[in-house]
Amino acid sequence: MSLFTTEQLAQLEQQAIELPSWAFGNSGTRFKVFATPGTPRDPFEKIADAAKVHEYTALAPTVALHIPWDKVDSYDELRSHAEGLGVALGTINSNTFQDDDYKFGALTHEDAAVRRKAIDHHLECIDIMHATGSRDLKIWLAEGSNYPGQADLRGRQDRLHESLSEIYARLGDEQRLVLEYKFFEPAFYHTDVPDWGTSYAQVAALGDKAMVCLDTGHHAPGTNIEFIVMQLLRLGKLGSFDFNSRFYADDDLIVGAADPFQLFRIVFEVIRGGGLNNPDVAFMLDQCHNVEDKIPGQIRSVLNVQEMTARALLVDGEALRAAQRSGDVLEANRVFMDAFYTDVRPALAEWRESRGLPADPMAAFAASGHLAKIAEERVGGVQAGWGA
Ligand code: PSV
Ligand code: MN
Ligand code: MN
C-alpha cells in the first residue's frame, strides 16, 4: 500500500518551485569566489541549467530573472529559448543595490532625482515582464542607515509609499508587486522594510495586486517563521517565498539543509492556510552555491522542499484537531512529530519512477556526465557571477 493517498499524490504532482537564475552563476563571500568550470556565461546558459533541474525532477517549471544581471537584447528570444527547453520565465527581481547613486537609498532617497532613477528602473522591469510573460515584480530594497540619527525614519517610509505607488500604478491587470523584507544588511542600524509588518503596511496601502515576499533567511535567529506564514496567508497577503537556509545571517544555503524541521513547520502552515499549489503564492528559491556544484545544488534544494511537503501532507489533520480541542498536548505533538519523522524517500522514489522520472534525481544527474560536458563546451567568455 502506498504511503500517500491519491489526493496527496495529486498535490505533490502539482508542486512547482521557481529557480533563481543567479543560483547558477558563481558566487561566494567577500573573501573569495570559487569558480566552477562550466558556469553559464550568459542568461541563456543559466536558463539551460535551470531546465536541467526541471528535466530531472519535474519540480521547477519556471526561472526567475534579476535585472540588470539578466539583461538581454531580446526578451522574446530569451522567452522562446526557455520555452524550447520546457520552462517558462518567472518573477522579475529588480536591483537597486549596485549603483553609486543608491548609497543613501533608492525609493526612499531624499533626492527626487535619485528616486526618479530608481522608479524608472522598476518601470523598465514591468516592461520586461510584458515581454517575458512574468506575473510578479519582486522588490527587495537595500535601503537603511548605519547610525542612529543618520536618517529620517518617518520621511523615508512616506517616500517609500509614494515611490511604490507610482510603480504599482504601472502594473498590468494580471501583474503583481511583491515586497520583500529583511531585518539587516547591507544597512546595520535600520532597514526601511525590516519585517513582515512593514511590508504588509506598505503593500496594504497599495492595493490587491501588492503582496508580501517572505525570504526564510531574513529573520532574526529564533523567529517563529511559520507563525508569519500563517498570518500572511490568513490576511491574503502572502505573495511569495524566497526559500533558503541560514545558520547565522543571510547565508543563502540550500533550503532544508540547516533546519529541515523548520521547513516542515512552514510547509505545514502553507497547507493549513490553503497556500499549497495556490497560484497566489509563488514558491521560489533564493540561494547561492558557493562551494558545491550548482545544478545538483538546485536539484537537492527542490527535492528537500518536495520531501518536507510530502511529510507535512502526512499530518493526520483530524487526529491533530481532536487532540488540540481536548487539550491533549502530548498527543497533538505526537501526531505532528509522527508525520515529520516519516521517511518519505522510498515512496517518493517509487512514485517518481511511476511517472517516468529518475527514482533518484541526484544520482541520475551525476551519472549523466552533464557537468563534464558543459565544462568542456563553455570555455571562453566570462562566467556569470552572482552579479552578472
Ligand atoms: C537580498 O538579500 C535578497 O534576498 C533579495 O531577494 C535579492 O534580490 C537577492 O537576495 C539576491 O540574491
Ligand atoms: Mn531574497
Ligand atoms: Mn537575502
Ordered per-residue pLDDT tens for the chain, 388 residues: 589 999 999 999 999 999 999 999 999 999 999 999 999 999 999 999 999 999 999 999 999 999 999 999 999 999 999 999 999 999 999 999 999 999 999 999 999 999 999 999 999 999 999 999 999 999 999 999 999 999 999 999 999 999 999 999 999 999 999 999 999 999 999 999 999 999 999 999 999 999 999 999 999 999 999 999 999 999 999 999 999 999 999 999 999 999 999 999 999 999 999 999 999 999 999 999 999 999 999 999 999 999 999 999 999 999 999 999 999 999 999 999 999 999 999 999 999 999 999 999 999 999 999 999 999 999 976 777 777 6
Report the CATH architecture of 10-316.
Alpha-Beta Barrel (3.20)
The domain segmentation of the chain, as residue ranges, is 10-316
The arrangement of strands across the sheet holding 238-243 comes to: 19-20, 62-66, 88-93, 136-140, 176-180, 210-215, 238-243, 282-285
Cα–Cα distances in angstroms (integers) from residue 69 to residues 238, 260, 279, 343, in the given order? 26, 31, 27, 40
Cell numbers describing residue 365: 544527474
ipTM of the prediction:
0.99
Which regions of the chain does DSSP assign to beta strands (E)? 19-20, 62-66, 88-93, 136-140, 144-145, 176-180, 190-191, 210-215, 238-243, 282-285
The number of residues in the chain equals: 388
Q: Report the predicted TM-score, pTM, of the whole model to 2 decimal places.
A: 0.97
User: Using the 8-state DSSP alphabet, how is residue 24 labeled?
Assistant: G
Pocket of ligand 1 (CB under 6 A): 22, 93, 140, 180, 182, 215, 242, 250, 286
Q: Whose CA is nearest to atom 1 of ligand 1?
A: 140
| Ligand 1 pocket: which of 92, 94, 215, 243 to mutate (most atoms within 8 A of CB) | 215
Q: Which amino acid is at 354?
A: S
Name which of 362, 353, 351, 385 is nearest 10 in CA terms.
351
Using the atom order of ligand 1, give the atom closest to the CA of residue 386: 12
